[in-house]
Structure 1
Amino acid sequence: MKTMKTLFGISAAFAVSLLATSALAQTYPERTITMVVPFSAGGPTDTVTRLVAESMSKDLGQQIVVENVGGAGGTLGAGRVASADADGYTLLLHHIGMATSATLYRKLAYDTLNAFEYVGLVTDVPMAIVARKDLEPTDLKGLIEYMKANKDTVTVANAGIGAASHLCGMMLMSALQTQFVTVPYKGTGPAMTDLLGGQVDVMCDQTTNTTKQIQGGTIKAYAVTSPARLGNLPDIPTAEEAGLPGFQVGIWHGIYAPKGTPAEVTERLSKSLQLALKDPNVVARFAELGTVPSAEAEATPAALKAKLEGEIARWKPVIEAAGQFAD
């Protein structure tokens, strides 16, 4: 009899839990949602986040406030969300650094694969290999020869460990099998400022950050890292075309929620994301930035989880070969 009462108690508790979850899913969201960007305001990921957040807010009927929590290559912001209440009111929009930080950082405050629930992929931004406008080489083959010949003095800027430009720089060193002098900055803005001013030589960064400067002729572009040329930069060859076979680097972005967030809530967010990525304003603004929204099939929890797992495995040997770790 005691066993029956225990079983009944467990069943009743489970039923109450199901009802609470169902009620949350039906009423969610009831208040403002915070979407954390783990980088500074005004950067490429921040730009993408604000466009998507604005569109999702319209569908969800509640405002999504973007909060910039920069530092430690995005791990501070990710850690903030990992420790937040699992109620769907604190989200994270992070780029490929979510995958690379699992190897880059010897100590993380969270388990990358197991500290989050997944909402969906947002976009995959190509990179551009650029340089100060007065650098001598006129094409990518010439740039490669120049960098190899001057490997001890040529400077490659990045926005700090874990930033997209840092990752692309490591991939470039791996592809060329040559180490260069890397110059880390505290953000994309200062790195670009010094490239524009000629204080550094080369950078590989997202087209969301380089397109305007390329179009304005204030920096020199050698290649984009996408499979095909970009519509807004039609004269810039792909790295494959320009003499760097197989060099394709995309800085994908995804939305996450704290572990334990009800599946009904993450599914609601995923549906809202899918609608946002079809929003004509989002599509048009993404095109201006040199990227496209993720397809509906990619803006799902399952697709983002699979992407993260695959990218952790892909980047691990690249990072280990570069030997650029952070504590």
Structure 2
Amino acid sequence: MRNQSHQFPRLVQLAAMAALLGSGSAAMAQAWPAKTVSIIVPFATGGTTDAIARTMGQELSKVLGQPVIVENKPGAGATIGADYVAKAKPDGYTLLVGAVHHTIATSVYKKLPYDFQRDLAPVSTVAMVPNVLVVNPNVPARNVKELIALARKSPGKMTYGSNGNGTGQHLIAAQFSMASGVDLMHVPYKGSGPLTIDLLGGQIDMSFDTVTPVLSHIRAGKLRALAVTTIKRSAALPDVPTLDESGLKGFDQGTWFGVLAPVATPKDVVARLNAELVKIANSPEFKKRMDEIGAVPVGNTATQMATQIRTDTDRFAKLVKQAKVTIE
């Protein structure tokens, strides 16, 4: 009996330690965030990813009660920023604004220093933005049919810009080239900001960028929109036909944007982030800002985002193979 009585305090101590360890995740979620949260944008300033991240960051800061800052880490088709977050401390303080581009990079780049599906945990898709085929006004084409005819006269001479090798814009242009039978010259940039500057200046002929960075220039008549790349017209550009309507039947490509965290980030922190992002996506303030930049708010579950990533990775792998797009 005496031995058992001496063991009792020890058993209580062990039980208390087990309870403490078991509640560690919940305790961290309650404590998080206790400092500034960084959102990594894998493109230069001035693009769609940047605009969505800054709007989201402002709203997230309000509900979290901590500063949320946006850091731009552009380059290599958005893979530099993704690699940075994949290798960051998994504590919920370093997040990535990922996009459809990352599902393409998996197939385009022969060697990546990270695995997008293995090393990053989906949190929520926050918005979807249609892409739009725009040309500099000096290009004498008023519609897609005229542009195709013009490009066929000078194979490999007409130029299009993208926000990087292996990005959505690059693959959409590659798909357009295959579907229309034209040969275009690709000019990659580190983001939509510098791309748009050169497009406005006439250094390149066209782009297949998202609606956001070119919308104001289209409305001002500085760029000419020929078609949107989604199967449905854009609410921001209701008078612009789709590529499907313009003769490229079945053409349907857009760009989604979402938040991811390092894969070992505590599940309770990811769950908290998801709940807040879904609320933000459905808030009047966020919807208003998305309307202004031609984006559609989403706000889904982490599981739905993971499914979307797997589906797009498989889909683009086939397109990459067909278009023979590879980067060392």
* TM-score normalized by the length of structure 2: 0.91
1:53: how far off? 1.1
Amino acid at match of 1:130: V
- The answer to whether structure 1 residue 221 and structure 2 residue 247 are counterparts is no
- Give yes or no for contact 2:38–2:70 (8 Å, CA) kept in 1: yes
**C-alpha separation between the residues in 2 aligned to 1:13 and 1:74?**
44
Equivalent residue in structure 2 for 1:148, among 145, 152, 156: 152
Cα distance 1:323–1:264, how it changes in 2: closer, same or farther (>3 A)? Answer: same
1:60-99 CA-partner distances (Å, limit 9, x unpaired): 1112111111111111111111111111111111111110
Partner of 2:325: 324
Equivalent residue in structure 2 for 1:163, among 140, 160, 167: 167
- The answer to whether structure 1 residue 26 and structure 2 residue 30 are counterparts is yes
Equivalent residue in structure 2 for 1:61, among 58, 65, 68: 65
**C-alpha separation between the residues in 2 aligned to 1:179 and 1:153?**
8
My pick for the range that moved more, 211-220 or 159-168, is: 159-168
SS at match of 1:241: coil
1:236-247 to 2 correspondence within 5 Å?
236-247=240-251
Runs (4+) off by over 6 Å: 9-14
1:157: how far off? 1.8
- Give yes or no for contact 1:168–1:205 (8 Å, CA) kept in 2: no
**C-alpha separation between the residues in 2 aligned to 1:12 and 1:107?**
47
1:204-254 CA-partner distances (Å, limit 9, x unpaired): 110011111111111111011233222332211122222221111111011
Amino acid at match of 2:36: T
Equivalent residue in structure 1 for 2:278, among 274, 280, 290: 274
- Structure 2, unmatched stretches of 5+, are 1-12
Cα distance 1:11–1:85, how it changes in 2: closer, same or farther (>3 A)? Answer: farther
**C-alpha separation between the residues in 2 aligned to 1:180 and 1:318?**
17
SS at match of 2:139: coil
Aligned residues: 317
- Give yes or no for contact 1:37–1:70 (8 Å, CA) kept in 2: yes
- The answer to whether structure 1 residue 84 and structure 2 residue 88 are counterparts is yes
1:196: how far off? 1.6
Partner of 1:196: 200
SS at match of 1:240: coil
1:126-178 CA-partner distances (Å, limit 9, x unpaired): 00101111212221122222223322211122222133322321221232244
1:1-327 to 2 correspondence within 5 Å?
15-294=19-298, 296=299, 298=300, 300-327=301-328
Give me the CA root mean square deviation.
Answer: 2.1
Percentage of matched positions with identical amino acids: 35
- Structure 1, unmatched stretches of 5+, are 1-8
1:18: how far off? 2.2
Cα distance 1:146–1:27, how it changes in 2: closer, same or farther (>3 A)? Answer: same
- Give yes or no for contact 1:120–1:304 (8 Å, CA) kept in 2: yes
Cα distance 1:93–1:186, how it changes in 2: closer, same or farther (>3 A)? Answer: closer
